[in-house]
Amino acid sequence: MINREEDEMMEKWLKWAMEIQSLAQAGLTYTRDIYDKERYERLREISAEILAEKTGMSTEKVKTLFCNETGYQTPKLDTRAAIFQDHQILLVHENNGTWALPGGWCDVLESVKSNTEKEVREETGLIVKAVKIISIQDRNKHNQPVYAYGVCKVFVLCERVGGKFEKNIETTETRYFSLEDLPLNLAEEKTTREQIQLCFKAYDSKYWEAEFD
């Protein structure tokens, strides 16, 4: 009971810090008053101090990660590809020893479709065609740890067109897994067992409708 209460309080603090950070960033974008700029800068510092206190990271690292953006704050996009073969799903083995669906941040000048295909090519060497949206999720509702900024995770069903695994700087190997034989060491911050199960569900459905938060 205590752990649950502590988790709920931690989540509240992180949400408060994220909201302060977002308001401060918007204020810095639109205000023309030098005194207001100072106030918004201080709000940013306070949000960084809260995040550092609650996550264990240094204040400077928090500032580097979360307090350098300009403009109105919007969620980041993360695309993840679901590629199947013989009713098994493809996972990539990352340098830190964990497994995840291939994917990553949506780059500038890339659409959800093109970014998904690009990430697969870079991490696996495979050429795929993105064919269907499986789900659009608010990352902080599904993955741990909670991030200090918003992330929309887009899961995309893909068809393999060609290619083969090529050595790269992000992954050490690829492997297909059945739903019953998923590895225990999943990269939970990127891919959870529940998210993979959702991909199987979409793959097995003839008339899948994308789910979204």
- Structural domain boundaries in the chain: 2-66, 76-212
Q: Are 134 and 211 in contact (CB under 8 A)?
A: yes
Question: What residues pair up with 151 in beta bridges, in sequence order?
Answer: 76
* pLDDT score for 4: 75
- Torsion sign (Cα): 90, 94, 97, 101: negative
* pLDDT score for 1: 46
SS3 state at 202: helix
Reading the block at residue 62, the tokens are 């928090």
Angle at 148 between CA 31 and CA 62, to 5 degrees: 85
* pLDDT score for 74: 83
Q: How far apart are CA 165 and CA 69, in angstroms?
A: 35
With tokens 């690829």, the residue in question is 174
pTM: 0.79
* pLDDT score for 157: 98
Indicate the fold that domain 76-212 takes in CATH.
Nucleoside Triphosphate Pyrophosphohydrolase (3.90.79)
Give the list of residues 6+ apart from residue 40 with CB closer than 8 angstroms, or none. Answer: 24, 25, 27, 28, 31
Residue 188 has phi, psi (to 5 degrees) of -60, -25
Show the low-confidence residues of the chain (pLDDT under 70).
Answer: 1-2, 65
SS3 state at 68: coil
